[in-house]
């Protein structure tokens, strides 16, 4: 099609996620398989790479924006812009789950964190007793320095006895069939369960140099 030398691309094809060191494809394809195509970067410089008419340019590309151009009927045409994002990802998926405490009283706020190390893009899901009611608030912190880690924080405000149970996070790799899950058990009590009975009065008098014992029964 001389009026549309580049095959239209889907919006999702214009955002290319690639792991560090892996080759990828910039999918600008022409409607004329014999067309001469040039790949240019954001500085308008030509980038030399293998071109496959059925796929596009294949190679190891630095992160950035890329555009393809070709000639048709003596006119220059440019493709859509393609954005390449380099992500850090390891073949393993190190995950840790942390809870500042595992025993709560009714009305307190439960906080559980799930930390994914050395991977920038993962799919993480929580399973916990209040999930059906969407009781939890989830926050993500992407920390780059001193090392890469994704910190997912699950917060359950106004906890009740029904929030007792397993709190589990499952992380799935962005590009590989790898998953890892970790679990912690949280217990919520209806009320405090420690009873203190002091064996002395609210006000006690002590003579100078006198040794006095204060005894408390704990149940």
The secondary structure of residue 164, as a DSSP letter, is: -
Q: Write out pLDDT tens, residues 38-91.
A: 999 999 999 999 999 899 999 999 999 999 999 888 889 999 999 998 887 777
CATH of domain 11-87: 2.60.40.10
What are the boundaries of each domain within the chain?
11-87, 95-189
Which token pair is 51? 């071109």
pLDDT interval class at 121 (50, 70, 90): confident
Beta strands, E only, 32-175: 37-41, 46-47, 50-52, 56-59, 64-72, 75-78, 82-87, 95-99, 103-105, 110-117, 122-127, 137-143, 149-156, 165-173
Residue 160: Cβ-neighbour burial (10 angstroms; 0-12, 13-18, 19+): middle
Res 98 pLDDT > 80 = yes
Q: Give the whole-angstrom CA distance, residue 187 versus residue 183.
A: 13
Is there a shared CATH topology between the 11-87 domain and the 95-189 domain?
Answer: yes
In CATH, the architecture of 95-189 is Sandwich (2.60)
Which token pair is 98? 């942390």
What three-state secondary structure class fits 148? coil
Strand partners for 192: none
Q: Write out pLDDT tens, residues 163-209.
A: 999 999 999 887 778 889 999 999 999 987 788 999 999 999 999 99
């Amino acid at each position: 099609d001389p009026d549309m030398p580049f095959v239209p691309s889907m919006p999702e094809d214009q955002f290319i996620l690639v792991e560090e060191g892996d080759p990828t494809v910039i999918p600008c394809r022409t409607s004329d398989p014999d067309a001469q195509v040039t790949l240019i970067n954001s500085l308008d410089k030509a980038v030399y790479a293998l071109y496959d008419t059925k796929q596009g340019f294949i190679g190891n590309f630095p992160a950035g924006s890329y555009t393809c151009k070709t000639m048709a009927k003596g006119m220059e045409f440019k493709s859509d812009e393609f954005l390449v994002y380099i992500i850090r990802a390891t073949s393993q998926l190190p995950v840790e789950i942390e809870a500042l405490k595992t025993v709560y009283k009714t009305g307190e706020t439960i906080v559980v964190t799930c930390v994914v190390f050395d991977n920038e893009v993962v799919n993480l899901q929580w399973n916990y007793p209040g999930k059906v009611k969407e009781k939890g608030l989830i926050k993500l912190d992407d920390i780059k320095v001193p090392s890469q880690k994704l910190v997912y924080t699950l917060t359950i405000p106004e906890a009740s006895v029904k929030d007792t149970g397993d709190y589990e996070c499952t992380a799935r790799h962005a590009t590989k069939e790898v998953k890892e899950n970790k679990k912690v058990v949280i217990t919520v009590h209806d009320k405090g369960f420690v009873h203190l009975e002091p064996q002395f009065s609210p006000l006690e008098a002590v003579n100078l140099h006198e040794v006095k014992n204060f005894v408390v029964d704990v149940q």
